[in-house]
Amino acid sequence: MANGEMDEFVERVRSQSDILSVVSRYVPLKKKGNNYWGCCPFHQEKTPSFSVAPSKGFFYCFGCHAGGDSFKFLSLIENISYFEAIKLQAERLHIPMPQRQKSPQEIERDRRIADLRKVNSMARDFFHNCLTMTHYGEAGKAYLASRGISQETIEEFQMGFAPDAWDKLTRAFLKRGVTMELLLEAGLVSQGKDSSNIYDRFRNRVIIPIADERGRVVGFGGRVLDDGTPKYLNTPETILFNKRRLLFGLDKSGRAIQQAGHAIVVEGYMDAISVYGAGVRNVVASLGTAFTAEHCRKLLRYTSRVCFCYDSDEAGQAATVRAFSVARDAGVEVRVIVIPEGKDPDEYIRKHGAKAFEALVQKAIPLVEYRMQYVLKHTAYDTLEGKVKALHEILPVLRGIRDAAELAEYRKKLARILMLDEGVILSEMRNGAGVPEPQAHSGRSGRRSAARSQDNALKRAGRIVIRMACRDASVLAHIRGMLPLEGIYDAAHHEILAFLFAQQEQGKTFDDAAAAEILGDEAMAELSRSLVENLEGREETEAYHDSVNILRRAYLNARFMQHSRQAEEYLQSGNPAYRDELAEVKKIKEEMDELQVSDTERRS
């Protein structure tokens, strides 16, 4: 398939896509002026701050700063890639996507994936029917009732039961034309040392279908009814099932995570089902494996804040510390939910109810606090040996703190509690391998950053300049003369203007589809805001000239300070080059004065 065909396809979908229709499918909107307003679907709010500008083809939320075109909206609301959003919109508009010639290997892989999805879907229905419609499921029903799992939750998760028989599923599926090869590949049956010894993998277990984030069944988990082993049995790894990349429940909880502003991560799917069934919907679970970077990347598409709720035993402590390291490196804000009496979430909810659990979520604490509480509770730190042991168990999480001020406060607190000199703690931290350098300011990354730079006059001026540049490409030459790219200090604005300059050099005009493909999330959000934001009654040309002058003054001021410092350094060292620097300072000052006079005359 030629690139031209794909470009034509994307342009056809874009031209036939009305952003108002796309957004209205998900968000109730009311017209106010030229724009439409509603409550943002990406964060909780009571007063509408989510704006759609149909004439410009963009949306922007003034609360959480999400913004972009109709495809960006679909990618955020459906949690799919930008190109997948284009394909989804094409399907809705009945626009066929051009197909390239696939290799025999690709065709075979696609066929295998389709077959596996179909047989997994069949198996989900088989297990669910066994639980809900046959006498085989009585034991499973009794077990789920004992765990407080309601019929509504059973239906929501399509939970099932595997009969206590060696080949019930095997015989049923073979009769329906499913091959033994496919059953083996899907992990629904197992093979003994003797290749003729074939039997159902799941027997006498409650079955939990495991879906990907799009709700497609990729495997199963089986929970034994008694004290048998293994307690939990999962599908073996297949083309579709990879525990390092799957978060149980994400297909159901994604929207709730966005709305709540944080995700709750528990250890297992039964915990997740219990928490979800109690009405706390922003919960996911890892599948019997450590919290991985892949898990973190998936969650970052929904939120930049994660609350871990693992068991409070030593294994759970270790898992939480490991998870913290992964999440911290990805720029996630981490909190820990502390459950009293060492209970797991499922147990606590059954005993105290959902409201009590939600109260614990609201009191979630930083990992350092959590680890300190646990270590100090389980260590006799009134002896020198105990102090050293406690210090060494807390140090790994202290070393993970990136903010210098926060780290200093925790060092003081730990020194006070253990009655140690703060210098001893600092020395032990430096002796540790791979100690990171603390930063004065900690950063956040992800779909929408948790810590946003403060809006100010420079950012507002930058957005007005960008708005004009998108509407009228002829002003780009003026912008280039007034504002060299190195003088644009806001990273997102720098990225947008670099894109616009590059488009102009290639003989292209502003294209929102190209912008969405090339620009990062933060830059795209700023571009959307630039195009959607109201000028508050100001005339556009006047607002543009004011804004260019504001940015030019900021650039000149930075150069003024730079050359002033250089002149002072040269003067103190006896370097005659200080004269050139002073001449440059004088030149810059004159231009700054001229700009001030020009502004005054234009306003008078």
Question: Is residue 88 located within the same domain as residue 109?
Answer: no
Question: Is residue 310 located within the same domain as residue 368?
Answer: yes
pLDDT score for 514: 76
Q: Residue 8 domain-assigned?
A: yes
DSSP reduced 3-state for 86: helix
pLDDT score for 600: 62
- Contacts of residues 101-105 at CB distance under 8 Å and 24 or more positions apart, as own/partner, are 101/1
Question: Is residue 299 located within the same domain as residue 426?
Answer: yes
**C-alpha to C-alpha distance for 491 and 175, rounded to whole angstroms:** 62
**Three-class SS string for 551-571?**
HHHHHHHHHHHHHHHHHHHHH
Q: Which residue has the higher pLDDT, 44 or 430?
A: 44
Amino acid occupying residue 463: R
pLDDT in tens, 520-537: 888 888 888 888 887 666
Q: Which residue has the higher pLDDT, 102 or 482?
A: 482
Handedness of CA 385, 386, 387, 390 (dihedral sign): positive
Q: Residue 371 domain-assigned?
A: yes
Mean pLDDT, the chain, integer: 84
Q: Which residue has the tokens 């200090």?
A: 489
Does the pLDDT at position 224 exceed 90?
yes
Q: Residue 271 domain-assigned?
A: yes
Q: Which residues pair with 50 in a beta bridge?
A: 38, 61
The answer for residues whose C-beta is within 8 angstroms of residue 157's C-beta and 6 or more apart is 208, 209, 252, 273
pLDDT score for 557: 81
Question: Is residue 285 located within the same domain as residue 379?
Answer: yes
Question: Is residue 159 located within the same domain as residue 218?
Answer: yes
Confidence of residue 596 (pLDDT cuts 50, 70, 90): confident
Identify the domain boundary among 236, 270, 291: 236
Does the pLDDT at position 193 exceed 80?
no
Domain harbouring 86, CATH code:
3.90.580.10
pLDDT score for 342: 64
Domain harbouring 283, CATH code:
3.40.1360.10
H or E, element range at 272: helix 269-277
pLDDT score for 455: 55
- Phi/psi for 308 (5° steps) reads -85, 140
Q: Which residue has the tokens 């200093």?
A: 408
Domain harbouring 594, CATH code:
1.10.860.10
Question: Is residue 184 located within the same domain as residue 258?
Answer: no
pLDDT score for 200: 95
Lowest pLDDT segment from 51-65, 430-444, 488-502, 557-571: 430-444
Q: Residue 378 domain-assigned?
A: yes
The answer for residues whose C-beta is within 8 angstroms of residue 334's C-beta and 6 or more apart is 305, 306, 307, 308, 323, 324, 327, 328, 366, 367
Question: Is residue 348 located within the same domain as residue 387?
Answer: yes
CB 167 within 8 A of CB 199: yes
Question: Is residue 117 located within the same domain as residue 222?
Answer: yes
**C-alpha to C-alpha distance for 231 and 240, rounded to whole angstroms:** 23
CB 95 within 8 A of CB 9: yes
Question: Is residue 375 located within the same domain as residue 257?
Answer: yes
Q: Residue 244 domain-assigned?
A: no
Structurally, how many domains does the chain consist of? 4
Residue 398, number of CB atoms within 10 A of its CB? 21
CB 497 within 8 A of CB 469: yes
What's the rounded mean pLDDT across residues 274-293? 87
Domain that holds residue 212: 104-236
**C-alpha to C-alpha distance for 234 and 433, rounded to whole angstroms:** 37
Domain harbouring 125, CATH code:
3.90.980.10
Question: Is residue 419 located within the same domain as residue 509?
Answer: no
Q: Residue 397 domain-assigned?
A: yes
DSSP state of 287: -
pLDDT in tens, 540-577: 788 888 888 888 888 888 888 888 888 888 888 888 88
pLDDT score for 449: 38
Question: Is residue 392 located within the same domain as residue 491?
Answer: no
Q: Residue 443 domain-assigned?
A: no
Identify the domain boundary among 36, 70, 92: 92
Q: Residue 348 domain-assigned?
A: yes
Does the pLDDT at position 179 exceed 50?
yes
CB 567 within 8 A of CB 585: yes
**C-alpha to C-alpha distance for 569 and 575, rounded to whole angstroms:** 8
Question: Is residue 292 located within the same domain as residue 160?
Answer: no
